[in-house]
Amino acid sequence: MSARVLVGVKRVIDYAVKIRVKPDNTGVVTDGVKHSMNPFCEIAVEEAVKLKEKKLIKEVVAVSCGPQQAQETIRTALAMGADRGIHVEVSGKDYDNLGPLQVSKILAALAKKEETSLIILGKQAIDDDCNQTGQMTAALLDWPQGTFASEVVLEGDKVKVIREIDGGLETVRLKMPAVITADLRLNTPRYATLPNIMKAKKKKIDVVKPGELGVDLTSHLEVLRVDEPPQRQAGMKVETVEELISRLKEAGRM
């Protein structure tokens, strides 16, 4: 019962928003757009809080890297049941260049500092769609990884993970400490209740700079441009099944 879990949470544009590419093709419009916690991160937080409720772990620490607003995302995690937060403050140009490599270096440094036995992250962020940070964090720490987890069972100093793979499911057993990334089916995240949101305001968020963790944020990736994807031609409505089949036959699709 001495284990401490680190949960990474990312603030992203809300999943329901239809994004717009900036006219100068440098990125997508984020100003004035609704942001929320990345859905996969919510699942990671829920899993960590559930492990604590089962008294299998001692403390849940929520971490987010980014500008001041990242603290709102950490507050959400605290309201869901995380014990305390760490805000790794990154802003301006550094934030524009912040990718999975930099975030994994930060998480690995924090994992060592906080004597962590488990890191739980979402499997991917719905903005960059990278699906890299968990794997890279595990690599930097030389810890095993249980990615795309749909079930997590702590077994003493090991953790059994059922993973979602292309043809079905796969079970692996990892020596702790380990890194786990959450798939959609791992759990259903709870809603933070008003009393818990109030309580979360009293919980502590430490603010640290990447430099204090010894992490260099240099990036070797350059985004040259961001474009709208090609739009599909407007289609046609057909009236009957027969018409549909004959159109598809004409088009050589059947």
Member of 183, 189, 210, 215 binding other proteins (CB under 8 A): 183
Strand 145-155, strand 118-122: pairing? unpaired
Distance CA 22, CA 30 (A): 9
Positions in 73-92 near other proteins (CB under 8 A): none
Q: Which of residues 97-156 bind other proteins (CB under 8 A)?
A: 99-101, 104, 123-124, 126-140, 142-145, 147-148, 150
CB of 84 to other proteins, least distance (A): 27
Where in 13-42 is the site for other proteins (CB under 8 A)? Answer: 13, 15-16, 18-19, 21, 28, 40
Looking only at residues 200 through 219 of this chain, which bind other proteins when binding is defined by CB under 8 A? 219
Judged by CB, which is closer to other proteins: 188, or 202? 188
Task: Name every residue whose Cβ is closer than 8 Å to that of residue 108 and which is 6 or more positions away in sequence.
Answer: 137, 140, 141
Minimum CB separation of residue 107 from other proteins in Å reads: 11
How many binding residues for other proteins (CB under 8 A)?
82
Q: Quickly count: other Cβ atoms within 10 Å of residue 118's Cβ.
A: 27
| Spatial separation of the C-alpha atoms in residues 230 and 40, rounded to whole Å | 28
Say whether residue 169 binds other proteins (CB under 8 A). yes
Nearest approach, Cβ of 142 to other proteins (angstroms)? 8
Name which of 31 and 239 has its Cβ closer to other proteins: 239
Instruction: Tell how far CA 171 is from the center of its chain.
Output: 22
Q: What are phi and psi of 13, to 5 degrees?
A: -60, 135
Using the structure block, give the residue that is written with the tokens 């984020």: 30
Backbone angles phi, psi at 192, to 5 degrees: -75, 125
CB of 81 to other proteins, least distance (A): 23
For residues 202 and 104, give the distance between their C-alpha atoms in angstroms, rounded to a whole number: 28
Contact positions with other proteins (CB under 8 A) in 214-243:
219-229, 232-242
